[in-house]
Structure 1
Amino acid sequence: MKIMNRMTVLCSLWLAGSSAMAETIKIDLWEQDSPEAAKEMDKWISVFAKRNPNIKVVRQHYENEELRAKFLRSSVTGDGADLVYGPNDLAGVFKTASVIQPVDEWLKKDQFNPTALGVMSLEGKTWGVPVSEGNHLMLFYNKAMVSQAPDSFDALIKEGKKHTNPKENKYGLAMFQSEPFWFMPILGGHGGWPLSESGNKTNVTINNDKTKAALQFLVDLKNKHQILPKDCDYDCAKSMFLAGKAPYHINGDWEVKTLREKLGKNLGIAPIPKIASTGKWSTPLLGGRFVFINKAATGKRLEAAKAFIKFITEEQVQLRMATKLDRIPATIKVRSSKKVQSLDSLQPLIDAAAHAKPSPSQVEMRAAWDGMRIMVQRALSGKETVAQAVATGQKAADEALGAIREKGEKSH
C-alpha cells in the first residue's frame, strides 16, 4: 500500500513537471514597418523559436495610426499586444496614456547609442528599447552635376547658384521646404529647439531670436539666394532631383534605396551642411525603430517579452539589420564593428546621423509641429514677415498644446 502511494505521488510530480515544461507562453507582437522588414522579422522570430521552444511570438502588422489607436483601445479592452514595434513617436502617446512600462530596471543601457536611447527618455525614465536608428534627413547630391558635398551652406549656396535657372525650372536645392521636419536641421544649426522645460511641464517655445534667425535663413534660400523653387512639395522636390533639375536634395534615409536605383554611382550622400554664421552643424532629428512593452505584461509573459527584446538586440540580429535592411544598428558594439564600418551602402547614413538630435517623443511635440508648420508656410508664402510668422506659429502651438493638455486631463 505504501509502495502504491509513493508511486502515485511520484507520478503526480512527474506529470506536474511535464505540464510545466510543456507550457507555451504566447507573445503577441504588433509591428509597423515595411514589408521587407516584416519578412526579415519573421526570420528572427523563427530563430528565436528554435532557441526558446516554450515561447511563441505571433507577429501582426498594422499601419502607424491604426497601430496607435488599436493599442490605446486595448488598454480598456485588455486584449492588447505584449510588445509593440514601431517608430519613436509612439513613446510619448503611449507613456501619457500609461499603457507601456519603463525598461530601466533590467535593460543594459550602456550597450546602446546614447542618442538613440535618448529618444526614449521621458521624465527621467526609458520607455522603449532601440532596435535600429534612422528616419533622419541627409543631403543627397548628384555627382554628375557637382564633384563633392559642401561642408557649409555657404558653399552649397555658391555652387547651387551655378545650377539655378528658373526659366528652365532648374534650382540649386530641392527640398520639402514648407514641412517643419525639414526646418528642424536649420533650427538646430542656429542653436534653436522648439521645446523647453518649466518645472514638470514641457512647453513649446518657438517665438524667440534663434527661431527667427533660422526662419530668415530658410526664407533667404528661396528669396535672396533663389536656389529654392517658388513652391515645391515632397514629390516635386524628389522628382526635380531625379530629373537632374537640382544638384542637391534634402530627404530621408527611407528614400536611399529608390535614389540609388535611379542614380546608381552618381548618388552622393552627406550630412546636411554647417550654418556658416554659427559654425554649428545642421541637426536633423534621429528616430528609428523601437520596441515597447505593454504595462499589463507581468510574470512569465513579461519575462518572455524581455527574452525576445534581448534576442533582437543581440549581435547576430543587429548585424542582419545592417546587412539585410541597410539600417543603422542600435547597439554600439555592432555599429562600430569592422563589418558595419566596411558597408559602403550604410556608412554614409551613419555619417549623416553624426550630428543628429534625438527626435522628441513628448506629446507636446505635436503642438510644436502644428505651430512650426503654420509659421514656415506663412513666412515662405510672403503672407507674413518672419517676426509675424513666428508669433503666429507660437499662438497656434499654444492653442494646440492647450487642447492636448485638456484631452489628457479628461482621459485621467
Structure 2
Amino acid sequence: MKMKKVLTLAAAFTMAFSITACGGGGNTASPETPAPAPAPAETAKTDPPPADAPEFAPEEGAKLVVWESKDERAYTDEVIKAFTEKYGVEVTLEEMAPTDQLTKLSQDGPSGLAADVVIFPHDQLGRAASSNLVAPNDVFEVETIQANTESAIQGVTYNDTLYGYPRAAETYLMYYNKELIQEAPKSFEEVIEFSEGFTDNAKNKYGVMWETGNLYFTYPFLASNGGYIFGNNGTDVKDIGLNNEGAVKSMEVYQSLNKVLPVKAGDITPDIKRSLFTAGDLAIDINGPWELSAYKEALGDNLGVAPIPTIAGQPAVSLAGIKAWYVNAYTDYPKAARLFANFATNEENQLKLSSLVGSVPTNKAAQESDQIKNDPYVSAFTEQFNSSVPMPSVPQMNNVWSPVGAALTEIWDNNKDIKASLDNAVKQLQELNSGTGEAK
C-alpha cells in the first residue's frame, strides 16, 4: 500500500489497529550497496491478511532470530520474553552492530541464513529496499503511521512505501556544565559572547565544541535557515539545497565560531571532547545520547541539557537517525516476524527501551507520558528531535558525506569562501549521483 493512500486512510480512522499486549549511532559509514537481489518468493506469493483479521497469527512452529546491538540487548531480552509468553514463539537474539547488519543481510538473506528481524541505520534503507532485502511494513502500516511522529515515519519510508517499525529516535543537543555556565545559551550569539571570556587555547579550555568537519553534527549550520540535502523530504536527489541562500546564511554563523574555537576540524574527535567536558575544561558540547551516561556520572547535578541554540535567529534543525526494526524479506516466518517487529515497538516497549538506555521514543503517546516528560534529559532530546529532520534514506545519501565534509573543513580550517566551497561540494555530489565522479 503506497504511503499517500495510507495517509488518507489514517485520517479516516479514529482508532489504530492493535493486536499487541499493551496497544500502543551518528553519522556512520554505510556499507557498499549490495547487489540487487530477486524478489523473495514468500513476499511475491500473496499479500498478508489485515492486522485485525482473526487468523493473523504466527506460523505454526515459527522460530525467530533477531539481530541486536550489545548495548541495547537488555531491552530486547525483555521484549523477547514477553513476546514468547504472548505468542508462544521461540526467539533467539544474536548480537551484531547495526552498522554491520545490512552487509550481513545482503550476504546471508537469500540463502536463508540471516536473522528474521534486523536493525540498521535508516539512511541505509534505500539500498536495502531497492535490493529487495526487507519486506514492507504492510500489515501494521496504518497503526504504525498513526502511532509515531511524522519525522520517524518519513525516515523509515522509501519510494512511498513504509518498511520500518520505528522504535527510537537519535539526534544531538547541547550538553553544558552548570558550574561553568549557569544557564543554557538561547542563541549562538550568546555562545560566542560567553566563549570569548572563557576560551583559552593555550590551556585547552573552550566555551563550545562539536565535530566541525562532520556533516552530521554541523547540519544545523546548513539547514536552520532553509538549507537541505535533498528536496521533497530527502527523496529528490536532483534538488540539492546545500548551497542555497539559507545554507550560506547559517554557515556564516558557523565560520564566525572559529574565533572562539581555534582548533582544526581534524583535531576535534569524540575522545578529545569527552575528555575536555568531563574534566571541566569544556563548557558546552554538542553531542548525542550515547554520551549521556558518562556525562551524568562525571558531572552529576552540574550536567545540563538543552536544545541547540538558535542560528541566525532560527531554531536549530538537527539531523536525526531513526532506529527501527525491519523484517527480512527472505524469512520463513513473515507473520511471526511482522508480529515481533510491531510488538517490540509499541508504546510500552518504547518506554521500556527509554528507561533502560535513555532513548527517545518515536511513539507519540510515549513522548507525552510522565516517564518522558519528567526526565529532564530524555525530554530535552525529545524536544530537539521534534525540531530535526531524518537523514535521507535514498542510496545517494552515501555520496554526500565526503564532499560536504571536505567543504566544511576548508571553510573552518582555512576560512575559505562559503558559497564557493559549498558550490564545489554540490558539483562533486551531482557528479557522484550521476555516476561520473569518484568519491574522494
Range class of TM-score, shorter chain = 0.7 to 0.9
What corresponds to 2:149 in structure 1?
Answer: 113
Taking the aligned partners of 1:176 and 1:43, their CA distance within structure 2 comes to: 35
Query: Pairwise CA RMSD of aligned residues?
Result: 2.6
For the pair 1:220 / 2:252, whether they are aligned, the reply is no
Q: Distance in 2 between matches of 1:181 and 1:262?
A: 25
Letter in 2 for 1:151: K
One of 153, 163, 167 as aligned partner of 2:188: 153
Q: Which residue of 2 aligns with 1:39?
A: 74
1:168 aligns to 2:216 (yes or no): no
Contact kept? 1:113, 1:330, Cα under 8 Å: yes
Check whether the contact 2:165–2:324 (CA below 8 A) recurs between aligned residues: yes
The one-letter code matched in structure 1 to 2:79 is: W
Counterpart secondary structure, 2:243: coil
Q: Cα distance, 1:105 vs. partner?
A: 4.7
* Percent identity over paired residues: 23
Aligned-pair distance for 1:197?
5.2
Task: Verify: 1:73 aligned to 2:88, yes or no.
Answer: no
Equivalent position amino acid for 2:66 in 1: L
- What letter is aligned with 1:66? D
Report deviation, 1:178. Answer: 1.1
CA contact (8 A) 2:155 2:322 kept: no
* 2:127 is the alignment partner of 1:90: no
Stretches of structure 1 that go unaligned for 5 or more consecutive residues are 1-20, 407-412
Give the aligned partner of residue 65 of structure 2.
28
Using the TM superposition, give the Cα deviation of residue 127 of structure 1 relative to its aligned residue in structure 2, in angstroms: 1.6
What does residue 299 of structure 2 align with?
A: 263
1:6-405 aligned within 5 A: 23-31=60-68, 33=69, 35-53=70-88, 55-107=89-141, 108=143, 109-134=145-170, 136-196=171-231, 201-203=236-238, 204-223=240-259, 226-231=260-265, 232-234=267-269, 235-275=271-311, 277=312, 279-297=313-331, 301-382=333-414, 384-403=416-435
Contact 1:94 1:100 survives alignment (8 Å): yes
Would the alpha carbon gap of residues 63 and 273 (structure 1) be closer, same or farther in structure 2, given more than 3 Å must change? same
Match in the other structure for 2:43: none
Residues 4-31 of structure 1 show CA distances to partners (whole Å, capped at 9, x for unaligned) of xxxxxxxxxxxxxxxxx99420122123
Partners of 1:367 and 1:270 lie apart in 2 by: 32
**Residues 347 and 206 of structure 1: is their aligned pair in 2 closer, same or farther, counting only changes over 3 Å?**
closer
Contact 2:173 2:308 in 1 (8 A): yes
Tell me the number of residue pairs that the alignment of Structure 1 and Structure 2 aligns.
Answer: 376
| CA displacement at 1:201 relative to structure 2 | 4.9
Q: Given the superposition, is the C-alpha separation of residues 154 and 363 from structure 1 closer, same or farther in structure 2, using an over 3 Å criterion?
A: same
Deviation at 1:395, TM superposition (A): 2.9
- Aligned equivalents of 2:307, 2:246: Cα separation in 1: 21
**Which residues of structure 2 form unaligned runs of 5+?**
1-57
Q: Does the 8 Å CA contact 1:160/1:173 hold for their aligned counterparts? A: yes
Corresponding residue for residue 17 of structure 1: none
> Alignment partner of 1:396: what SS?
helix
Q: Is the CA contact 1:101–1:295 (under 8 Å) kept in the aligned structure 2?
A: yes
Q: Secondary structure at the match of 2:337?
A: helix
